[in-house]
Structure 1
Amino acid sequence: MPRGSIIIAEDDVEQLETLMEYLSLNDFEVHGAGSALEFFEALIGSDYDVAVVDIGLPDKSGFEVVETLRQRTDMGIIVLTARDSINDKMRGYECGADHYFTKPLDCRELAAAVGSLVERLGSRPEVPIEGAPSNQSAQWRLDTLLWVLTPPAGNEAKLTEKEMNFLRILISEKGSPVTKETLMADLDYAGDELYGAGALAVMVTRLRKKIREQTGLEPPIKTIRSQGYSFSAPAILN
C-alpha cells in the first residue's frame, strides 16, 4: 500500500518527471499536473494527502492555488519554487503552505517533508471521542423526508435525493468512515468502477460547496485517507 497520495503542480516537465519518479520510488502514489487547470481537474476525481505547488504556473498564480487548497481542503501543502525572497516566503505561509522550499532542492528533503506531512495528517483525530458529552442543540440534523440538512446555527441546505442518501449513510455510522466502495454500491455508482469513483467525488465536491454556500458553515464531510468519508460532527437523523 502506498505511503500516501501526492499531487504535484509543476510546469517544468523535466522537473516534474524527476520529482514524480523520486517520490514514486519512495512508495508514494504520485500524480502530476502541468497547470492550475489540470491540477484542479485532478482533484475532482481523486483524494490526495499532500500537494506540492510551484508558484510560477502558466495559467494561475501558485499562491492562489495554495490559498484555495487551504480554504477548501485538509491537504498538506508544500510550495516548491525558484522565488526565494522573504516577501514571497511570507506570502506562501500566509496563504497556508506548511513548507516553503526553494529550488534547487534535494529530493530527499522533499520526500522527508512529504512523509512527515502524511504521517501528521493521518494521525489527526477525525471523529468526536465516543462517550463525550454533547449538546443536542449543537448537532446537525438531517431530515430524510424533506431532504434538508440543518446545522446547529445558520441556514439549512436543501439536498437532492442522492445527496441526502449519502449523508444518511455517513451520519448513521456516527463518525466512523464509510468506504468508497460501500457508498458507490449504495448510491448506484458501482456499475462502472472508473465512472462511479469520479461521479462520487464530483457529488461530494458539489455537496460540500452547497453546504458551505447555503449554511455559511464549513461542511463536516471529511475525507479519510485510503478509506472513504465520514461525517465528523455530532448529528442526528429525523
Structure 2
Amino acid sequence: MNSDARILVVDDEPVTRECLTSYFETEGFQVFEAETAEQAESVLSEHTIDVVLLDIRLPGKDGLTLTRELRVHTEVGIILVTGRQDEVDRIIGLECGADEYVTKPFNPREILARTKNLVRRVRHCTEAKPTDALPNSFKTFERWKLNLDRRQLVDDQQQTTQLTEGEFQLLSTLMNHAGQIMSREQILEQIRNREWVPSDRTVDVLIGRLRRKLGDDPAQPKTILTVHGAGYLFTPKPAELS
C-alpha cells in the first residue's frame, strides 16, 4: 500500500537515521536520507517527497529554519523530531507550519501511524481535483467552506487556503463542538496522534494560526472566542454542503 510513498529522513545522528530508514523500508516506503538541511534541500529539489521526518537540531541550518522555508512554497508533510526538553522549539516549529511532532526517544510504530495519516492528507491535497469532491465533503460556516477531502478553506470568492494537518484537526474538532466551550485538554484529547502535557501551548499556537487564516482579529475575535480560564468557543453553526 505504501510502495509509492516517499519519505525523507533528516537527522545528523547516523543511528537514528539508519533506524528510521530500515523501519520504513520494511513497511514498504521509499526512503531518502539527509544529515543536514542543505542535503535535504538537494533531495527535495530532485524528488517528489510526501513527508519529511525532520530533526530540529541540525548542524548549520536548523530544522526550524528549514520548516519555515519549506512551508512558503510547498505542502510537503513535515513531522518534527524533538527532544523531551525542546518544548519551546516544538511550539516554534508548529508556528512555522510543521504538521506534527514526535519526541525522542520515540516509538517507531507511533511515527509510522502519523506518517501514514499525513501521506494520505498530502496526497489528497496534491492529487485531488475539484470534480473529485464527494457529496457531504464540505462543511460551511460564515463565509467559509471547509473541504474535508483536500484540507482546504474556501472563501466566498472561491479563494482557497491550505491548512496543515494540525490546523485541520483543530478546526474540525471546534466545528464538531460548535457552541461548546472546550478546554485545551479536551481539544488535545480530540486531536489524533498528539502528545501533550498540562503546560503544552500547542492549542494556543494552532488557534493563532487558524485565526490568521480566517481573518479573525486576535484582539477581538468573533469566530473563535477565548473564554478566559475555561478554553475556546467556536461561535458559528456549521452545516454540511452536498
TM-score using structure 1 length: 0.52
Contact map agreement 2:82 2:90 (CA 8 A) in 1: no
How many angstroms apart in 1 are the aligned matches of 2:85 and 2:33?
A: 23
| Secondary structure in 1 matching 2:130 | coil
> 1:3-35 CA distances to partner (integer Å, 9 max, x unpaired)?
510001100011100000001111111101011
1:66 equivalent in alignment to 2:67 = yes
Equivalent residue pairs, number: 130
Counterpart residue number, 2:55: 54
Counterpart residue number, 1:18: 19
- How far 1:126 moved relative to its partner? 3.5
| Secondary structure in 2 matching 1:129 | helix
Q: Which amino acid aligns with 1:91?
A: I
Contact map agreement 2:13 2:35 (CA 8 A) in 1: yes
| Secondary structure in 2 matching 1:119 | helix
Query: More displaced, 45-54 or 1-10?
Result: 1-10
Counterpart residue number, 2:131: 129
Query: More displaced, 34-43 or 80-89?
Result: 80-89
| Secondary structure in 2 matching 1:37 | helix
* Cα separation, partners in 2 of 1:39 and 1:111, compared to 1, 3 Å: same
Q: Which amino acid aligns with 2:76?
A: M
Q: Which amino acid aligns with 2:106?
A: L
1:104 equivalent in alignment to 2:105 = yes
Q: Which has the higher contact order (CA 8 A, sep 6+)?
A: 1
Contact map agreement 1:2 1:27 (CA 8 A) in 2: yes
Counterpart residue number, 1:7: 8
| Secondary structure in 2 matching 1:123 | helix
> 1:113-138 CA distances to partner (integer Å, 9 max, x unpaired)?
100101122233643338xxxxxxxx
- How far 1:45 moved relative to its partner? 0.9
Counterpart residue number, 1:175: none
Residues 1-238 of structure 1 correspond to what in structure 2 (within 5 A)? Answer: 2-82=3-83, 84-124=85-125, 126-129=128-131
- How far 1:59 moved relative to its partner? 1.3
Contact map agreement 2:7 2:32 (CA 8 A) in 1: yes
Q: Identity percentage over the alignment?
A: 34
- How far 1:75 moved relative to its partner? 0.6
Q: Which runs of 5+ in 1 are unaligned?
A: 131-238
How many angstroms apart in 2 are the aligned matches of 1:63 and 1:93?
A: 9
**RMSD in angstroms over aligned alpha carbons?**
1.7
- How far 1:72 moved relative to its partner? 1.4
Contact map agreement 1:84 1:102 (CA 8 A) in 2: no
Contact map agreement 2:11 2:17 (CA 8 A) in 1: yes
Displacement over 3 Å in runs of 4+: none
Contact map agreement 2:4 2:30 (CA 8 A) in 1: yes
> 1:73-130 CA distances to partner (integer Å, 9 max, x unpaired)?
1111000122534322211100111111110001010011100101122233643338
How many angstroms apart in 2 are the aligned matches of 1:126 and 1:65?
A: 27
Q: Radius of gyration: which is bigger?
A: 1
Q: Which runs of 5+ in 2 are unaligned?
A: 133-242
Q: Which amino acid aligns with 1:6?
A: I
